[in-house]
């Protein structure tokens, strides 16, 4: 890739030690040893080569080391939105400690199947590996291995109906805050309460695409953290066109 526009990447915030970018859906954070890319780490190393050794060592499925590229946390390939990147070792340690202390606040928005009856709620279910599919995680009886505590807060911002394969289906639009940071946590928790994320091929494979989404209807909307001076920073990403179109389709007003 020759420049950041080649993958539609926008810088949302930057200081001497870290930056936040708007990751598009479909872009993997780093190599999995199988996909040819491009990856977010490719862009980081092109524009911030000094970050090549910043971060915790990572190995791919083949056991070979991966470029670290300042990665502090991850978003699933189909999840779009704000992601933090460390430019320096001190910046990485500073952000890493905030994630460990759970002082970083991450807000997501998502469309889910069905009408959430309550206006807000908490999903507090431990997560483990799925017994039936190595790619999946589970927050129910299908979990195996070490079960790790996981808590997700959600607020319903609206709901509506839309046509799906000739019939009307209900959908809810949620703001979601994962208090813990388990792999696939939001997707697993919402599926566990029978309101899976729209277009989630892994956790709702029998559901048809809906609301115009051909990718996972999940977006990292904002991240709050402290910079090295202690100043509280909030970085937000605007809603993409597919989210705005789905809100219009359901008749939901959302700023």
Q: Do 188 and 120 fall within a single domain? A: yes
Return the pLDDT at 143: 77
Comparing 58 with 94, the larger pLDDT belongs to 94
Q: Which stretches of the chain are assigned E, i.e. beta strand?
A: 10-14, 18-23, 58-59, 65-66, 80-86, 105-113, 120-124, 127-130, 137-138, 143-148, 151-164, 167-178, 218-226, 232-236
pLDDT tens for 215-239 read 999 999 999 999 999 999 999 999 9
CA R_g for the chain: 18
Q: What's the total number of domains in the chain?
A: 2
Residue where a domain stops, chosen among 101, 135, 158: 101
For residue 230, being part of any structural domain is answered with no
Global pTM exceeds 0.85 = yes
- Tell me, yes or no, if 10 is annotated catalytic: no
For residue 109, being part of any structural domain is answered with yes
Among the residue ranges 37-46, 115-124, 201-210, the one predicted with the least confidence is 37-46
Q: Do 68 and 164 fall within a single domain? A: no
Residue 191, SS3 per DSSP: helix
Q: Do 96 and 110 fall within a single domain? A: no
Return the pLDDT at 201: 95
Specify the CATH number for the domain of residue 215.
3.30.2350.10
For residue 234, being part of any structural domain is answered with no
Q: Do 63 and 121 fall within a single domain? A: no
The phi, psi pair for 125, rounded to 5°, reads -140, 130
Return the pLDDT at 116: 97
- Give the residues across from 71 on adjacent strands: 85
For residue 231, being part of any structural domain is answered with no
pLDDT tens for 63-76 read 666 667 899 999 99
Q: Do 43 and 77 fall within a single domain? A: yes
Q: Mean pLDDT across the chain, nearest whole number?
A: 91
Segment 7-30 shows an average pLDDT of 92
What are the residues whose beta carbons fall under 8 Å from the beta carbon of 81, sequence distance 6 or more?
Answer: 22, 23, 75, 108, 219, 220, 221, 237
Segment 139-147 shows an average pLDDT of 79
C-beta separation of 151 from 124 below 8 A:
yes
Residue where a domain stops, chosen among 101, 122, 148: 101
Q: Do 123 and 182 fall within a single domain? A: yes
C-beta separation of 245 from 91 below 8 A:
no
Q: Do 109 and 92 fall within a single domain? A: no
Q: Do 127 and 243 fall within a single domain? A: yes
Q: Do 168 and 210 fall within a single domain? A: yes
For residue 229, being part of any structural domain is answered with no
Tokens representing residue 144 in the block: 């195996």
Range of the domain at 205: 105-222+239-255
pLDDT tens for 44-70 read 999 999 998 898 877 666 666 666 789
pLDDT tens for 174-221 read 999 999 999 999 999 999 999 999 999 999 999 998 999 989 999 999
Burial, 38: exposed, middle or buried (Cβ in 10 Å; 0-12, 13-18, 19+)?
middle
> Which is the catalytic residue, given 76, 101, 124, 227?
76
Q: Is the pLDDT score of 8 beyond 60?
A: no
Residue 111 — very low, low, confident or very high, per pLDDT cuts 50/70/90?
very high
The phi, psi pair for 233, rounded to 5°, reads -115, 135
Return the pLDDT at 5: 42
Residue where a domain stops, chosen among 77, 101, 125: 101
For residue 179, being part of any structural domain is answered with yes
Q: Do 95 and 112 fall within a single domain? A: no
Q: Do 174 and 50 fall within a single domain? A: no
């Amino acid at each position: 890739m020759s420049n950041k526009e080649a993958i539609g990447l926008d810088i949302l915030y930057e200081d001497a030690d870290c930056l936040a970018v708007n990751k598009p859906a479909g872009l993997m954070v780093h190599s999995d040893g199988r996909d040819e890319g491009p990856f977010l780490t490719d862009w980081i190393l092109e524009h911030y080569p000094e970050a090549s050794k910043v971060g915790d060592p990572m190995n791919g499925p083949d056991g070979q080391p991966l470029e670290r590229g300042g990665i502090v946390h991850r978003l699933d390939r189909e999840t779009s939105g704000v992601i933090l990147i460390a430019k320096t070792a001190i910046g990485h340690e500073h952000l890493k400690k905030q994630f460990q202390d759970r002082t970083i606040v991450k807000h997501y928005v998502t469309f889910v199947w069905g009408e959430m009856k309550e206006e807000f709620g908490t999903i507090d279910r431990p997560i483990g590996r799925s017994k039936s599919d190595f790619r999946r995680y589970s927050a129910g009886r299908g979990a195996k291995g070490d079960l790790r505590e996981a808590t997700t807060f959600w607020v319903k911002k609206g709901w509506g109906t839309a046509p799906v394969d000739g019939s009307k289906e209900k959908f809810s639009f949620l703001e979601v805050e994962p208090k813990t940071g388990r792999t696939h946590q939001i997707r697993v928790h919402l599926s566990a309460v029978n309101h899976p994320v729209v277009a989630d091929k892994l956790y709702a494979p029998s559901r048809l695409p809906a609301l115009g989404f051909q990718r996972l209807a999940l977006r990292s909307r904002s991240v709050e953290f402290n910079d090295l001076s202690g100043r509280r920073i909030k970085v937000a990403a605007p809603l993409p066109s597919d989210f705005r179109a789905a809100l219009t389709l359901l008749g939901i007003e959302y700023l």
